[in-house]
Chain A
Amino acid sequence: MAMYNDKVMEYFLHPRNVGEIEDADGTGKYGSPVCGDMMSISIKVDDDRITDAKFKTFGCGSAIASSSVATEMMIGKTIDEALAITNKTIVDELGGLPAVKIHCSVLADHAIKSAIYDYAQKAGKHYAGLEGFDPNSDDDGHDDDGHGE
Protein backbone atom coordinates (compact mmCIF):
# COMPACT_ATOMS: atom_id res chain seq x y z
CA MET A 1 0.00 0.00 0.00
CA ALA A 2 1.78 3.07 -1.17
CA MET A 3 -0.63 5.87 -0.52
CA TYR A 4 0.70 6.77 2.95
CA ASN A 5 4.13 6.25 4.47
CA ASP A 6 4.66 3.72 7.29
CA LYS A 7 4.42 6.29 10.04
CA VAL A 8 1.11 7.69 8.81
CA MET A 9 -0.22 4.13 8.48
CA GLU A 10 0.96 3.33 11.99
CA TYR A 11 -0.95 6.30 13.45
CA PHE A 12 -3.96 5.52 11.29
CA LEU A 13 -4.05 1.81 12.18
CA HIS A 14 -3.18 2.30 15.85
CA PRO A 15 -4.22 5.82 16.74
CA ARG A 16 -3.09 7.10 20.16
CA ASN A 17 -5.30 9.22 22.42
CA VAL A 18 -8.68 8.44 20.89
CA GLY A 19 -11.60 9.73 22.93
CA GLU A 20 -12.95 12.65 24.88
CA ILE A 21 -11.71 13.85 28.25
CA GLU A 22 -14.74 13.94 30.53
CA ASP A 23 -13.80 16.90 32.70
CA ALA A 24 -11.79 18.65 30.01
CA ASP A 25 -10.45 22.14 30.58
CA GLY A 26 -10.88 22.97 26.92
CA THR A 27 -12.53 21.39 23.89
CA GLY A 28 -12.45 22.39 20.27
CA LYS A 29 -14.37 21.10 17.32
CA TYR A 30 -13.58 21.93 13.75
CA GLY A 31 -15.14 20.99 10.43
CA SER A 32 -13.09 21.22 7.28
CA PRO A 33 -14.37 23.64 4.68
CA VAL A 34 -12.39 21.64 2.11
CA CYS A 35 -13.82 18.14 2.30
CA GLY A 36 -16.43 18.30 5.07
CA ASP A 37 -14.55 16.32 7.69
CA MET A 38 -14.90 16.88 11.41
CA MET A 39 -12.47 16.74 14.28
CA SER A 40 -12.62 17.41 18.01
CA ILE A 41 -9.80 17.73 20.53
CA SER A 42 -10.15 18.00 24.29
CA ILE A 43 -7.36 18.98 26.68
CA LYS A 44 -6.54 18.90 30.35
CA VAL A 45 -4.36 21.79 31.57
CA ASP A 46 -2.40 22.02 34.79
CA ASP A 47 -0.38 25.12 35.62
CA ASP A 48 -0.31 26.21 31.97
CA ARG A 49 0.91 22.82 30.84
CA ILE A 50 -1.14 20.37 28.80
CA THR A 51 -1.29 17.16 30.81
CA ASP A 52 -3.64 15.22 28.57
CA ALA A 53 -5.20 15.47 25.13
CA LYS A 54 -7.66 13.30 23.27
CA PHE A 55 -9.19 13.45 19.83
CA LYS A 56 -12.08 12.18 17.76
CA THR A 57 -12.13 12.41 13.99
CA PHE A 58 -14.72 11.84 11.30
CA GLY A 59 -12.40 11.79 8.36
CA CYS A 60 -9.87 10.06 6.18
CA GLY A 61 -6.78 8.12 7.23
CA SER A 62 -4.60 11.17 7.00
CA ALA A 63 -6.98 13.20 9.21
CA ILE A 64 -6.99 10.42 11.81
CA ALA A 65 -3.20 10.15 11.76
CA SER A 66 -2.79 13.96 11.89
CA SER A 67 -5.09 14.39 14.86
CA SER A 68 -3.57 11.46 16.72
CA VAL A 69 -0.01 12.67 16.28
CA ALA A 70 -1.13 16.21 17.15
CA THR A 71 -2.45 15.08 20.53
CA GLU A 72 0.85 13.33 21.19
CA MET A 73 2.77 16.45 20.27
CA MET A 74 0.67 18.57 22.65
CA ILE A 75 0.90 16.45 25.77
CA GLY A 76 3.56 17.75 28.15
CA LYS A 77 3.91 21.06 26.37
CA THR A 78 3.10 24.48 27.82
CA ILE A 79 0.22 26.30 26.16
CA ASP A 80 2.63 28.61 24.37
CA GLU A 81 4.65 25.68 23.08
CA ALA A 82 1.49 23.91 21.93
CA LEU A 83 0.35 27.01 20.10
CA ALA A 84 3.57 26.87 18.11
CA ILE A 85 2.43 23.58 16.55
CA THR A 86 1.33 24.18 12.96
CA ASN A 87 0.04 21.91 10.26
CA LYS A 88 3.58 21.99 8.88
CA THR A 89 5.11 20.59 12.07
CA ILE A 90 2.37 17.94 12.14
CA VAL A 91 3.18 16.92 8.58
CA ASP A 92 6.89 16.85 9.42
CA GLU A 93 6.24 14.70 12.48
CA LEU A 94 4.36 12.25 10.25
CA GLY A 95 7.21 12.19 7.76
CA GLY A 96 5.09 13.77 5.03
CA LEU A 97 1.60 13.47 3.60
CA PRO A 98 0.48 13.25 -0.04
CA ALA A 99 0.00 16.77 -1.45
CA VAL A 100 -3.76 16.37 -1.72
CA LYS A 101 -3.86 15.39 1.97
CA ILE A 102 -2.04 18.38 3.45
CA HIS A 103 -5.36 20.05 4.25
CA CYS A 104 -6.20 17.22 6.70
CA SER A 105 -3.29 18.34 8.86
CA VAL A 106 -4.66 21.89 8.75
CA LEU A 107 -7.77 20.45 10.33
CA ALA A 108 -5.71 19.13 13.24
CA ASP A 109 -3.87 22.43 13.58
CA HIS A 110 -7.19 24.24 13.76
CA ALA A 111 -8.69 21.78 16.24
CA ILE A 112 -5.71 22.25 18.60
CA LYS A 113 -6.12 26.01 18.56
CA SER A 114 -9.88 25.73 19.03
CA ALA A 115 -9.36 23.59 22.15
CA ILE A 116 -6.82 26.02 23.58
CA TYR A 117 -9.06 28.95 22.69
CA ASP A 118 -11.89 27.34 24.64
CA TYR A 119 -9.56 26.82 27.60
CA ALA A 120 -8.35 30.43 27.46
CA GLN A 121 -11.93 31.70 27.40
CA LYS A 122 -12.93 29.61 30.39
CA ALA A 123 -9.79 30.38 32.38
CA GLY A 124 -9.79 34.06 31.41
CA LYS A 125 -6.28 33.87 29.96
CA HIS A 126 -4.61 35.51 27.01
CA TYR A 127 -2.02 33.93 24.76
CA ALA A 128 -0.05 35.67 22.06
CA GLY A 129 -0.34 32.56 19.91
CA LEU A 130 -4.13 32.94 19.76
CA GLU A 131 -3.95 36.52 18.45
CA GLY A 132 -6.37 36.84 15.57
CA PHE A 133 -7.59 33.24 15.86
CA ASP A 134 -11.28 32.78 15.24
CA PRO A 135 -12.54 29.29 16.04
CA ASN A 136 -15.55 29.77 13.78
CA SER A 137 -13.70 31.02 10.76
CA ASP A 138 -13.67 28.89 7.65
CA ASP A 139 -10.31 30.23 6.66
CA ASP A 140 -7.57 28.12 8.18
CA GLY A 141 -5.14 31.04 8.07
CA HIS A 142 -2.11 28.82 8.37
CA ASP A 143 0.81 27.88 6.29
CA ASP A 144 -0.83 25.47 3.94
CA ASP A 145 2.45 25.59 2.01
CA GLY A 146 0.74 25.43 -1.34
CA HIS A 147 -0.09 21.74 -1.09
CA GLY A 148 3.52 20.80 -1.67
CA GLU A 149 5.95 19.00 0.51
Chain B
Amino acid sequence: MKQVYLDYSATTPVKKEVLQEMLPFFSEGFGNPSSLYSPGQASKEAIATARMRLASLIGASEREVFFTSSGTEADNWAILGACDAQSKKGKHVITTKIEHHAVLHSCEFLEKHGYRVTYLEVGPDGVVGLKALEDAITDETVLVSIMLINNEIGTMQPVKELCAAAHERGILFHTDAVQALGNVPIDVKDLGIDLMSVSAHKIYGPKGVGALYMKKGTRISNYMHGGAQEGKKRAGTENLAGIVGFGKAAALAEGNLGEHIKRVTELREYLIDQVLSEIPDVFLNGNRKLRHPGNANFTFKYIEGEAALLLLDTKGIFVSTGSACSSESLEPSHVLSALNIPAEFIHGSLRLTIGDFTTKEDIDYVVGELAAIVVRLREISSVSNEKGW
Protein backbone atom coordinates (compact mmCIF):
# COMPACT_ATOMS: atom_id res chain seq x y z
CA MET B 1 0.00 0.00 0.00
CA LYS B 2 1.07 3.55 -0.69
CA GLN B 3 2.31 5.33 2.42
CA VAL B 4 2.29 9.07 2.90
CA TYR B 5 3.85 10.54 6.00
CA LEU B 6 2.40 13.98 6.69
CA ASP B 7 3.54 14.53 10.25
CA TYR B 8 6.93 16.19 9.75
CA SER B 9 6.24 18.51 12.69
CA ALA B 10 6.08 15.47 14.95
CA THR B 11 9.39 14.15 13.71
CA THR B 12 11.33 13.63 10.48
CA PRO B 13 13.17 10.66 9.03
CA VAL B 14 16.95 10.76 9.40
CA LYS B 15 18.38 11.60 5.98
CA LYS B 16 20.71 9.00 4.48
CA GLU B 17 23.62 11.45 4.35
CA VAL B 18 23.10 12.17 8.04
CA LEU B 19 23.03 8.50 8.96
CA GLN B 20 26.20 7.90 6.91
CA GLU B 21 28.08 10.47 8.92
CA MET B 22 26.82 9.10 12.21
CA LEU B 23 27.61 5.43 11.66
CA PRO B 24 31.40 5.55 12.22
CA PHE B 25 30.82 7.03 15.66
CA PHE B 26 29.17 4.00 17.21
CA SER B 27 31.59 1.06 17.02
CA GLU B 28 34.77 2.58 15.61
CA GLY B 29 35.06 6.21 16.60
CA PHE B 30 33.58 5.68 20.02
CA GLY B 31 36.18 7.49 22.13
CA ASN B 32 34.96 9.63 24.99
CA PRO B 33 35.43 13.25 23.93
CA SER B 34 36.77 13.96 27.43
CA SER B 35 39.62 11.44 27.05
CA LEU B 36 43.04 12.84 26.26
CA TYR B 37 44.32 10.07 23.95
CA SER B 38 43.80 10.34 20.22
CA PRO B 39 40.45 8.51 19.79
CA GLY B 40 39.01 10.80 22.47
CA GLN B 41 40.40 13.86 20.75
CA ALA B 42 38.97 12.69 17.41
CA SER B 43 35.53 12.54 19.03
CA LYS B 44 36.08 15.98 20.47
CA GLU B 45 36.88 17.31 17.04
CA ALA B 46 33.79 15.72 15.55
CA ILE B 47 31.69 17.52 18.15
CA ALA B 48 33.47 20.80 17.42
CA THR B 49 32.60 20.41 13.72
CA ALA B 50 28.96 19.73 14.56
CA ARG B 51 28.88 22.76 16.84
CA MET B 52 30.30 24.93 14.10
CA ARG B 53 27.71 23.69 11.61
CA LEU B 54 24.78 24.32 13.92
CA ALA B 55 26.19 27.73 14.90
CA SER B 56 26.47 28.63 11.23
CA LEU B 57 22.82 27.69 10.56
CA ILE B 58 21.60 30.12 13.22
CA GLY B 59 24.20 32.86 12.82
CA ALA B 60 25.81 32.24 16.21
CA SER B 61 29.40 31.71 17.30
CA GLU B 62 30.42 28.15 18.27
CA ARG B 63 30.92 29.22 21.86
CA GLU B 64 27.24 30.07 22.10
CA VAL B 65 25.93 26.60 21.23
CA PHE B 66 25.44 23.90 23.89
CA PHE B 67 24.23 20.42 23.03
CA THR B 68 21.50 18.83 25.11
CA SER B 69 19.46 15.63 25.03
CA SER B 70 16.44 17.27 23.39
CA GLY B 71 14.58 20.47 22.65
CA THR B 72 12.66 19.78 25.84
CA GLU B 73 15.82 19.76 27.92
CA ALA B 74 16.92 23.00 26.28
CA ASP B 75 13.56 24.59 27.18
CA ASN B 76 13.75 23.35 30.77
CA TRP B 77 17.33 24.52 31.12
CA ALA B 78 16.69 27.95 29.63
CA ILE B 79 13.64 28.64 31.78
CA LEU B 80 14.66 27.13 35.10
CA GLY B 81 18.28 28.21 34.67
CA ALA B 82 17.41 31.81 33.80
CA CYS B 83 15.03 32.07 36.75
CA ASP B 84 17.40 30.49 39.22
CA ALA B 85 20.23 32.81 38.22
CA GLN B 86 18.03 35.87 38.76
CA SER B 87 16.09 34.78 41.83
CA LYS B 88 17.23 37.89 43.70
CA LYS B 89 15.90 40.16 40.97
CA GLY B 90 12.35 38.87 40.84
CA LYS B 91 9.99 35.94 40.42
CA HIS B 92 7.82 36.73 37.45
CA VAL B 93 7.90 35.03 34.05
CA ILE B 94 5.92 35.85 30.90
CA THR B 95 5.06 33.27 28.27
CA THR B 96 2.06 32.50 26.04
CA LYS B 97 -0.89 30.14 26.13
CA ILE B 98 0.24 28.38 22.97
CA GLU B 99 3.75 27.26 23.95
CA HIS B 100 4.90 23.68 23.74
CA HIS B 101 4.35 21.67 26.92
CA ALA B 102 8.11 21.69 27.52
CA VAL B 103 7.77 25.42 28.19
CA LEU B 104 4.31 25.41 29.80
CA HIS B 105 5.09 22.61 32.21
CA SER B 106 8.44 24.19 33.13
CA CYS B 107 6.48 27.34 33.96
CA GLU B 108 3.99 25.35 36.01
CA PHE B 109 6.90 23.88 37.91
CA LEU B 110 8.09 27.41 38.66
CA GLU B 111 4.62 28.33 39.90
CA LYS B 112 4.86 25.53 42.45
CA HIS B 113 8.06 27.14 43.65
CA GLY B 114 6.74 30.62 44.32
CA TYR B 115 6.96 32.17 40.87
CA ARG B 116 4.18 34.08 39.17
CA VAL B 117 3.68 33.32 35.49
CA THR B 118 1.68 35.35 32.98
CA TYR B 119 0.34 33.33 30.05
CA LEU B 120 -0.32 35.81 27.25
CA GLU B 121 -3.39 35.42 25.06
CA VAL B 122 -3.01 35.25 21.30
CA GLY B 123 -5.22 36.80 18.65
CA PRO B 124 -7.57 34.70 16.48
CA ASP B 125 -4.70 34.15 14.03
CA GLY B 126 -2.45 32.86 16.80
CA VAL B 127 -0.13 35.86 17.00
CA VAL B 128 0.97 37.48 20.27
CA GLY B 129 0.43 41.24 20.46
CA LEU B 130 3.37 43.49 21.30
CA LYS B 131 1.19 45.63 23.52
CA ALA B 132 0.01 42.60 25.48
CA LEU B 133 3.63 41.77 26.27
CA GLU B 134 4.52 45.33 27.22
CA ASP B 135 1.52 45.53 29.54
CA ALA B 136 2.46 42.29 31.27
CA ILE B 137 6.02 43.30 32.10
CA THR B 138 6.64 44.29 35.73
CA ASP B 139 9.74 45.19 37.74
CA GLU B 140 9.68 41.61 38.97
CA THR B 141 9.85 40.06 35.50
CA VAL B 142 13.03 38.07 34.88
CA LEU B 143 12.26 36.13 31.71
CA VAL B 144 10.06 36.19 28.63
CA SER B 145 9.68 32.92 26.72
CA ILE B 146 7.82 33.03 23.40
CA MET B 147 8.12 30.45 20.66
CA LEU B 148 9.27 31.37 17.16
CA ILE B 149 6.86 29.03 15.34
CA ASN B 150 3.96 27.13 16.85
CA ASN B 151 3.99 23.37 16.45
CA GLU B 152 0.25 22.93 15.88
CA ILE B 153 -0.86 25.83 13.75
CA GLY B 154 2.55 26.87 12.45
CA THR B 155 2.06 30.53 13.30
CA MET B 156 5.19 32.69 13.42
CA GLN B 157 5.57 35.19 16.24
CA PRO B 158 7.16 38.62 15.76
CA VAL B 159 10.00 37.54 18.05
CA LYS B 160 12.35 40.34 17.03
CA GLU B 161 9.90 43.03 18.16
CA LEU B 162 8.82 41.11 21.25
CA CYS B 163 12.44 40.58 22.23
CA ALA B 164 13.23 44.28 21.79
CA ALA B 165 10.37 45.14 24.13
CA ALA B 166 11.72 42.77 26.78
CA HIS B 167 15.25 44.11 26.38
CA GLU B 168 14.05 47.66 26.81
CA ARG B 169 13.14 46.64 30.34
CA GLY B 170 16.34 44.64 30.83
CA ILE B 171 14.60 41.26 30.67
CA LEU B 172 16.06 38.07 29.21
CA PHE B 173 14.29 36.60 26.18
CA HIS B 174 14.06 32.90 25.35
CA THR B 175 12.50 31.42 22.24
CA ASP B 176 11.60 27.83 21.47
CA ALA B 177 12.69 27.49 17.84
CA VAL B 178 12.27 23.73 17.58
CA GLN B 179 9.74 24.03 14.72
CA ALA B 180 11.46 27.01 13.13
CA LEU B 181 14.96 25.57 12.74
CA GLY B 182 15.61 24.57 9.14
CA ASN B 183 12.19 25.87 8.09
CA VAL B 184 12.72 29.63 8.19
CA PRO B 185 15.96 31.62 8.10
CA ILE B 186 17.12 32.21 11.68
CA ASP B 187 19.73 34.79 12.59
CA VAL B 188 20.07 35.00 16.35
CA LYS B 189 21.94 38.30 16.13
CA ASP B 190 19.16 39.87 14.12
CA LEU B 191 16.44 38.47 16.41
CA GLY B 192 18.41 39.71 19.39
CA ILE B 193 17.30 36.84 21.64
CA ASP B 194 19.36 35.60 24.59
CA LEU B 195 18.34 31.95 24.62
CA MET B 196 16.99 29.64 21.95
CA SER B 197 16.06 25.94 21.99
CA VAL B 198 16.41 23.67 18.96
CA SER B 199 16.20 19.96 18.23
CA ALA B 200 17.80 17.62 15.68
CA HIS B 201 14.94 15.26 14.90
CA LYS B 202 12.78 17.98 13.36
CA ILE B 203 15.42 18.72 10.72
CA TYR B 204 16.13 15.18 9.43
CA GLY B 205 18.60 14.46 12.22
CA PRO B 206 18.38 11.84 14.97
CA LYS B 207 16.16 11.84 18.04
CA GLY B 208 17.74 12.38 21.44
CA VAL B 209 19.77 15.47 20.68
CA GLY B 210 18.95 19.15 20.98
CA ALA B 211 20.80 22.34 21.72
CA LEU B 212 20.52 25.59 23.59
CA TYR B 213 21.85 28.77 22.04
CA MET B 214 23.05 31.13 24.75
CA LYS B 215 24.13 34.60 23.72
CA LYS B 216 27.64 35.48 24.86
CA GLY B 217 27.52 37.00 28.33
CA THR B 218 24.16 35.48 29.28
CA ARG B 219 24.28 34.01 32.77
CA ILE B 220 21.95 31.15 33.59
CA SER B 221 22.34 28.37 36.15
CA ASN B 222 23.26 24.88 35.10
CA TYR B 223 20.52 22.30 34.84
CA MET B 224 22.48 19.06 34.41
CA HIS B 225 25.14 18.73 37.09
CA GLY B 226 28.22 16.57 36.80
CA GLY B 227 31.29 16.60 34.58
CA ALA B 228 32.88 19.48 32.71
CA GLN B 229 31.32 18.82 29.29
CA GLU B 230 29.99 21.63 27.10
CA GLY B 231 32.22 24.27 28.61
CA LYS B 232 31.19 23.19 32.12
CA LYS B 233 27.63 24.21 31.37
CA ARG B 234 25.94 20.94 30.54
CA ALA B 235 27.23 17.81 32.22
CA GLY B 236 26.91 14.30 30.83
CA THR B 237 28.95 12.35 28.29
CA GLU B 238 28.05 13.72 24.89
CA ASN B 239 25.68 11.87 22.58
CA LEU B 240 28.53 11.69 20.09
CA ALA B 241 26.85 10.09 17.08
CA GLY B 242 23.69 12.10 17.73
CA ILE B 243 25.58 15.38 17.83
CA VAL B 244 27.47 14.47 14.65
CA GLY B 245 24.10 13.75 13.03
CA PHE B 246 22.69 17.06 14.24
CA GLY B 247 25.69 18.84 12.72
CA LYS B 248 25.25 17.15 9.37
CA ALA B 249 21.51 17.82 9.37
CA ALA B 250 22.22 21.47 10.14
CA ALA B 251 24.72 21.68 7.28
CA LEU B 252 22.23 20.13 4.86
CA ALA B 253 19.50 22.47 6.08
CA GLU B 254 21.70 25.50 5.60
CA GLY B 255 22.75 24.46 2.10
CA ASN B 256 19.19 23.78 1.04
CA LEU B 257 17.17 26.31 3.05
CA GLY B 258 15.88 28.53 0.24
CA GLU B 259 14.94 25.61 -1.98
CA HIS B 260 13.37 23.71 0.93
CA ILE B 261 11.19 26.65 1.93
CA LYS B 262 10.09 27.33 -1.64
CA ARG B 263 9.26 23.73 -2.44
CA VAL B 264 7.49 22.94 0.82
CA THR B 265 5.50 26.18 0.78
CA GLU B 266 4.29 25.45 -2.75
CA LEU B 267 3.14 21.98 -1.75
CA ARG B 268 1.41 23.34 1.33
CA GLU B 269 -0.42 25.99 -0.68
CA TYR B 270 -1.47 23.29 -3.15
CA LEU B 271 -2.70 21.12 -0.29
CA ILE B 272 -4.67 23.96 1.29
CA ASP B 273 -6.23 24.95 -2.05
CA GLN B 274 -7.18 21.35 -2.81
CA VAL B 275 -8.68 20.64 0.59
CA LEU B 276 -10.67 23.88 0.68
CA SER B 277 -12.03 23.34 -2.82
CA GLU B 278 -12.64 19.56 -2.70
CA ILE B 279 -14.18 19.26 0.76
CA PRO B 280 -17.17 21.25 2.04
CA ASP B 281 -17.48 22.65 5.57
CA VAL B 282 -13.78 22.92 6.26
CA PHE B 283 -11.61 25.81 7.39
CA LEU B 284 -7.92 26.47 7.94
CA ASN B 285 -6.71 27.14 11.48
CA GLY B 286 -4.11 29.87 11.94
CA ASN B 287 -2.84 32.65 9.72
CA ARG B 288 -2.41 31.40 6.14
CA LYS B 289 0.58 33.58 5.26
CA LEU B 290 2.60 33.93 8.46
CA ARG B 291 3.17 30.24 9.02
CA HIS B 292 5.61 27.35 8.97
CA PRO B 293 6.16 26.45 5.31
CA GLY B 294 4.95 22.86 5.73
CA ASN B 295 2.06 23.31 8.17
CA ALA B 296 -1.62 22.99 7.29
CA ASN B 297 -4.12 22.66 10.13
CA PHE B 298 -7.77 22.19 9.18
CA THR B 299 -11.07 21.80 10.93
CA PHE B 300 -13.49 19.43 9.24
CA LYS B 301 -16.84 20.25 10.76
CA TYR B 302 -19.14 17.54 12.14
CA ILE B 303 -16.51 14.81 12.40
CA GLU B 304 -14.03 13.78 15.04
CA GLY B 305 -10.30 13.88 14.38
CA GLU B 306 -9.16 10.65 15.96
CA ALA B 307 -11.67 8.67 13.91
CA ALA B 308 -10.40 10.45 10.79
CA LEU B 309 -6.79 9.84 11.79
CA LEU B 310 -7.38 6.10 12.21
CA LEU B 311 -9.22 5.82 8.89
CA LEU B 312 -6.38 7.68 7.18
CA ASP B 313 -3.97 5.27 8.85
CA THR B 314 -5.77 2.37 7.16
CA LYS B 315 -4.95 4.13 3.86
CA GLY B 316 -1.28 4.52 4.77
CA ILE B 317 -1.61 8.23 5.55
CA PHE B 318 -0.15 9.54 8.80
CA VAL B 319 -1.33 12.82 10.33
CA SER B 320 -2.20 14.22 13.77
CA THR B 321 -5.21 15.82 15.45
CA GLY B 322 -5.96 18.25 18.28
CA SER B 323 -9.21 16.47 19.19
CA ALA B 324 -9.97 15.87 22.86
CA CYS B 325 -10.69 12.23 22.07
CA SER B 326 -7.11 11.65 20.95
CA SER B 327 -5.44 12.86 24.12
CA GLU B 328 -4.96 10.96 27.34
CA SER B 329 -6.37 13.92 29.26
CA LEU B 330 -9.47 14.09 26.99
CA GLU B 331 -8.90 17.81 26.69
CA PRO B 332 -8.90 19.61 23.36
CA SER B 333 -5.63 21.08 22.06
CA HIS B 334 -4.55 23.99 24.27
CA VAL B 335 -3.30 25.83 21.19
CA LEU B 336 -6.57 25.67 19.26
CA SER B 337 -8.47 26.46 22.47
CA ALA B 338 -6.33 29.59 22.88
CA LEU B 339 -7.50 30.71 19.42
CA ASN B 340 -11.04 30.57 20.81
CA ILE B 341 -11.99 27.82 18.42
CA PRO B 342 -15.03 26.05 19.95
CA ALA B 343 -14.33 22.57 21.32
CA GLU B 344 -16.61 20.90 18.76
CA PHE B 345 -14.52 22.40 15.95
CA ILE B 346 -11.25 21.42 17.61
CA HIS B 347 -12.74 17.95 17.59
CA GLY B 348 -12.54 17.88 13.82
CA SER B 349 -9.03 19.31 13.57
CA LEU B 350 -6.34 17.56 11.57
CA ARG B 351 -2.75 18.74 11.24
CA LEU B 352 -0.94 17.79 8.05
CA THR B 353 2.73 18.75 7.93
CA ILE B 354 4.76 18.50 4.77
CA GLY B 355 8.50 17.89 4.43
CA ASP B 356 11.33 17.19 2.02
CA PHE B 357 10.08 13.78 0.92
CA THR B 358 6.50 14.85 0.19
CA THR B 359 5.48 14.96 -3.48
CA LYS B 360 2.58 16.47 -5.36
CA GLU B 361 1.32 12.94 -6.08
CA ASP B 362 1.27 12.32 -2.33
CA ILE B 363 -0.93 15.37 -1.84
CA ASP B 364 -3.32 14.27 -4.58
CA TYR B 365 -3.59 10.83 -3.01
CA VAL B 366 -4.17 12.30 0.45
CA VAL B 367 -6.82 14.78 -0.68
CA GLY B 368 -8.73 12.02 -2.50
CA GLU B 369 -8.69 9.67 0.49
CA LEU B 370 -9.41 12.46 2.93
CA ALA B 371 -12.45 13.66 0.98
CA ALA B 372 -13.88 10.12 1.00
CA ILE B 373 -13.20 9.66 4.71
CA VAL B 374 -14.85 12.96 5.59
CA VAL B 375 -17.97 11.92 3.64
CA ARG B 376 -17.99 8.56 5.36
CA LEU B 377 -17.67 9.99 8.87
CA ARG B 378 -20.27 12.64 8.18
CA GLU B 379 -22.71 9.90 7.20
CA ILE B 380 -22.17 8.34 10.59
CA SER B 381 -22.16 11.65 12.48
CA SER B 382 -25.14 12.74 14.56
CA VAL B 383 -24.43 16.41 13.84
CA SER B 384 -24.56 18.21 10.52
CA ASN B 385 -25.10 21.53 8.88
CA GLU B 386 -28.88 21.02 8.68
CA LYS B 387 -29.43 19.39 12.05
CA GLY B 388 -27.02 21.51 14.02
CA TRP B 389 -25.31 20.24 17.12
Question: Hey, which bits of chain A sit against chain B, CB under 8 A?
Answer: 1, 3-4, 12-13, 15, 18, 29, 34-40, 55-61, 63-64, 100, 103-104
Residue B325 CB within 8 A of the other chain: yes
**Which of B314, B325, B379 is within 8 Å of A59, CB to CB?**
B325
Number of CB contacts from chain A to chain B under 8 A: 64
Residues in chain B within 8 A of chain A (CB atoms): 302-304, 306-307, 310-311, 313-314, 323-326, 328, 330, 332, 343-344, 347, 379-383, 389
Q: How far is the CB of A37 from chain B (nearest CB, A)?
A: 7
**How far apart are A22's CB and chain B's nearest CB, in angstroms?**
14
Contact of A34 among B310, B328, B330 (CB under 8 A): B330
The reply to whether B328 and A58 contact each other, CB–CB distance below 8 Å, is no
State whether A60 touches B304 (Cβ < 8 A): yes
Which B residue's beta carbon lies closest to that of A60?
B325
A60 pairs with B306, CB closer than 8 A = yes
Interface centre among A3, A29, A60, A103 (most CB of B within 10 A): A60
Residue of A3, A29, A56 touching B381 (CB-CB under 8 A):
A56
Expressed in whole angstroms, the minimum distance between the Cβ of A98 and any Cβ of chain B is 10
- 28 inter-chain pairs at a CB distance below 8 angstroms, sorted by A residue, are A1-B313, A1-B314, A4-B310, A12-B310, A13-B311, A15-B380, A18-B379, A29-B382, A35-B325, A36-B324, A36-B332, A38-B382, A39-B382, A40-B382, A55-B382, A56-B381, A58-B302, A58-B303, A58-B381, A59-B304, A59-B307, A60-B304, A60-B307, A60-B325, A61-B310, A63-B304, A63-B325, A100-B330
Cα A40 to Cα B381 with chains together (Å): 9
- Known interface pairs A18-B380, A36-B347, A60-B304; 18 further A-B residue pairs with C-beta atoms within 8 A, sorted by A's residue number: A1-B313, A3-B310, A29-B382, A35-B330, A36-B332, A36-B343, A36-B344, A38-B389, A56-B381, A58-B304, A58-B347, A58-B382, A58-B383, A59-B325, A60-B323, A60-B325, A63-B325, A103-B330
- Give Cα A39–Cα B389 distance, bound, in whole angstroms: 11
Given A1-B314, A34-B330, A36-B343, A64:B325 Cβ within 8 A: no
State A59–B344 Cα separation when bound (angstroms).
10
Instruction: A13 to B310: give the CA distance in the assembly, Å.
Output: 9
The 10 A-B pairs with the shortest beta carbon distances in the complex, nearest first, are A56-B382, A60-B325, A35-B324, A60-B306, A40-B382, A58-B381, A58-B383, A35-B330, A61-B307, A38-B382
Query: In the docked arrangement, what's the CA distance between A60 and B323, Å?
Result: 9
Residues of A within 8 A of B328 (CB): 100
The answer to whether A38 touches B383, judged by C-beta atoms less than 8 angstroms apart, is yes
Q: Decide: A1 near B310, CB < 8 A? Known: A38-B389, A59-B325.
A: yes
Q: Are A60 and B326 neighbours in the complex by a CB distance under 8 Å?
A: yes
On chain A, the residues within 8 Å of B311 by CB distance are: 13
Q: Using Cβ atoms and an 8 Å threshold, which residues of chain A touch B314? A: 1, 13
Q: Report B-chain residues with C-beta under 8 Å of the C-beta of A55.
A: 382
CB distance from B162 to the nearest CB of A (A): 34
Q: Please report the C-alpha to C-alpha distance between residue A40 and residue B330 in the assembled complex, in whole angstroms.
A: 21
Choice from A1, A3, A57 contacting B380 with Cβ under 8 Å: A57
Residues of B within 8 A of A4 (CB): 310
